[in-house]
Structure 1
Amino acid sequence: MQNLQNLISQLETKIPLYEKTNSSVSSSTVGWQIEHSLKTIYQIASVVKNSNPQEYQWKFNKSKLFISILGFIPRGKAKAPKVVLPDENISEESLINSLQNVNAILEEWKSFDNDAYFKHPYFGNLNKKSTMWFLKLHTNHHLKIVNDICNK
């Protein structure tokens, strides 16, 4: 799987197409997909940053195992939490701002403790390494949707 920065760079190239839609792929715009991906990265990285690594506990999770074997997130199977849903005012400027915020927090990511964590609603507690796995998986999922919107 590609690294997260590469996936983000691919999303960045699609920012000029933020208003593009294709109802046969998704009811949302390219901009919505990009903003949702960036908000997800930023929000999750913020939670990891502010977590207490001493409280992290690993627990087997069959949903995580299934998705890691599958290697992708099936479309239309999960509902995004409100905190990562974009508002209606998506613009090229707002996407660039979100991109800058993500790049800044990912710079900080390097200094996070390995047991810093995020509690995923389906996969349970994900430490720094597992959280990065999820962020790549999720970003790739939305990048595929963006590419499908642009290519159909």
Structure 2
Amino acid sequence: MNRQLYRFFTKDHRRIEELLELATKNPDEIQMEYYQGFRAGLLTHIKMEEKILFPAAQKANGGVPLPIAAKLRLEHGALTALMVPPPTPSLIKVLRHVLDKHDIAEEEPGGMYDVCSALTQNQTTELLEQLAHVSEVPVHPHHPAAFALEAAKRALTRAGYDFDTVAQ
């Protein structure tokens, strides 16, 4: 199997994780420059999957969505919603938890990246070219209102996670 798409996306996972690590090295003081890079990186990564990888795999699968795609899309929605409120220690803990589970589902043998790579093996060069030209997602300022965190909690619930339980 051609592993170029797998390597592309897993390398980007590691880059995004490193930005989060740099942003939260001191848990009492989040380094916002790195956190902003993390936010933009995560949202752009999600964009690449949702706009290029998943549709290409579905098309190659005869138009049938991949079974795991629905769960991953719910998690993408939850992760996106978590980018809206300002970061707090509990929000960071939840982010890490969801990202860990999400990345495993994409990276594990037989996971989303393996399946997508197999289905689109004749399109690898074309897909990598498209991915190379994806523009970074603009990141808006955080919204500190309580309703922003509540909306993120609802998105997490739809994805199968409970913010308050994970944050403990």
Fold conserved between structures, TM > 0.5: no
What is the TM-score of this pair, normalised by structure 2? 0.37
What is the TM-score of this pair, normalised by structure 1? 0.40
Query: Which structure has more helix as a fraction of its residues?
Result: 2
Structure of higher RCO (CA pairs closer than 8 Å, 6+ residues apart):
1
Q: Which has the larger radius of gyration?
A: 2
Query: Which structure has more strand as a fraction of its residues?
Result: 1
